[in-house]
Structure 1
Amino acid sequence: MKRLITYLIVIAATIYTAVLYGSTSFLMLFYVELALPVFLLLTLIPAVRHTSIRMELPIPVVEQGQKTPVMLHVTTGGFPIGGRVAVQVKGKLPMGQKDEKTWFYTALAGSKKTAKIKAEYQSRCVGSIRMEISRVWCYDFLGLVALPLSAKYWKALEPETLLVLPRISEVPVMVSRQSRDFAGESEEHSKERGGDDPSEVFQIRDYQPGDKLRSIHWKLSAKTEEMMVREQSMPLGCPVDFYLDLYQPAAVHRRKDETQRDSYLQILASVSHSMVVEGCRHHVIWFDSRKGDVCRYRIENEENIFEMLFQLGQLSVYHDKKDLQELYRQKYHETPGVTCLELTTELTLKKNGEVEARYSGDVSDIERQLGAKELVV
């Protein structure tokens, strides 16, 4: 726009000079200046018709506060020398926040068929961000004429997903004996100790005094001529159910929501990570308002936490209250864990229905708050 305004000023100055001095040369120059944008437009049209673009994220995971490289591959059919391409990338943020829009630019030579825009992107929030191309403009070398690239050249591209990891802080966690010995219901079984689940065999061993007769492996005992016992496995259930209550009154101000969003995900990741460090398996459970269904993810190690953050996807709040625990029981029909944790959008952490901790939305102070009180599960 600045270049166009400058060019219009130059045209006005040219015609003013031509009229003031009666100069035929300046009058001819004025006509050339008027015709130049039309000429540039005619040379730009065929180039735009043969231009396509795609986006690539070489590093799809980045820590909060860091920048990630963005590669935009532009293929042309021959651009005017010195022409430029401007690409707008839109990032769809979690929890219904306003989209981020960033412009990237590159120059194209007439002989070049391809070009790469190497840029850096830094999100203002954490979570799973869906990035896609939203606009593309092609410019002549003077920047006077611009034509939009048809959406058919990039709308069919799959959005790229960028995971911005929240800062993980240490939370003092003590796992009770009841949680450590919790079996529950699970398709996963212990490789270190036996239990009472007859669906899977833990090991075959020699008979020991006190073993039940029904556990004797009679066929193997007859073959080896020694008493052998089939020891049953122990299911590795999750003693902690960690619910994410994403209910939020419709009247909550967006700015307040923005200040709490990062803290919410930091609390989630920090509590989950600290339980993993202490060897406490748990389920993270939430209601997906887009699917209209309850979702859960089993957390056993640090890698599961990152996968869970991807699973959360475009985490969004809802404005009608949900009985999340009842919906969960109706879907999974499993015995509840020893401890029920619940994190609300007001940054209140509840344990078995009682308030365990309240956190402020101050991101700079959240680490101190997380380490201030021990969590017993």
Structure 2
Amino acid sequence: MKNRKTGIWPKIRRVINEIHLWLGIASGLIIFVVCLSGTIYTFSDEIQRFLEPSRYKVNGPIGDSKLPIAQLILQLEKDNDGKVTTINIPAKPDETYQFTLLKKDEKGRGTGFSLDPYSGQVTASGEAVGSVFFMKMFRLHRWLLLDTSIGRPIVGWATVIFTLLILTGMCIWIPQKVRYWKQGLKIKFDSNWKRINHDLHNTLGFYAAFLMLVMSLTGLYWSFDWYKSGLYSIFQVEQPKGRGGRPPMAEAKKGEKVEKETSPIDIALLPWEQYLEKANERLSYPGNFRISIPEASDKSINLSKTRTGFFASAAGDKIILDKASAEILEVDIFRDKPLNERVMGSIKALHVGNVFGTFSKILYFISCLIATSLPVSGTIIWINKLRKKSKRKGAVLA
């Protein structure tokens, strides 16, 4: 039998090791910044809730009945000379309602307002505490705080390199002899600092490899349009058009006349609570509602509901109700979709880690923290090897 030390595997291993080393040196700083900012951003929502509880929690006594949603909308629009576009209604009775209002002549997504549903009092408005900082972290993570045309491809190619580093790192981790497998699964804290650093790089990298690979492969979705289109093509899912992520509207057939409404349809709007009650009959689980306020000419109401809980999925279910009767017109249950559609509908959740609620976010936070440490521990390993080579060369010359 051929000795493995003189076989082909050691030669391949050395080549992979060199590729891993130089790719890491070339992209280490960018990967460190991207992973660090991603780690900080993971629990941004939870941190903002902690910093400004009055925006999310009801301060006064919790009553038995809440004010009608229509009354809250009318009062908010009257006081701020604008139009409410969305409402987030939490499942917990002690949390505030979140409104988005587009003021007159205001551009963009609008201004956020938090209302006490029992008193109608505005508890917070505008930007949340910490939102500016976390937006900086977001831009640092996505574009390195540069112009998107420059920062986006830099982060994208650094992510490609990071993916190759994970794969080559896994190859390097595989021991040459079976009896050394256990050695690669633990850290020898009773050894010297160089060995501990080496084990931290190899062992922690191994444990976090799968989630790091998921993060990198999904992260490329926002870096390259060709990659995004390729994913939709591979999973055989129709790619949404526009920023809102809605599927493309059906085009009129050639020669077909498209009629456009010139005046709003006079359809009576039922109490919002009636729509929610009807939606809860179909989606009978604890969850948070998001209502998209329809135009006067719209004949339907669009609502989405997401589950709550430690293991709750970030994916929501959608329901469309008839505006005049509150009858259910269409239901879109995420769990009932084919696997390929669920995967493509969970790209963001798979990247940020809330695909299984707080549980998966904790796992992602730890993995992202490990990913942040890898360029540091890897650089230390490289420096130690350079010093070792230098000492050997010096001994030979002596």
TM-score (norm 1): 0.21
Q: Per chain length, whose mean CA-contact separation is higher, i.e. which structure has more relative contact order (CA < 8 Å, sep 6+)? A: 2
More strand by proportion, 1 or 2?
Answer: 1
TM-score (norm 2): 0.20
More helix by proportion, 1 or 2?
Answer: 2
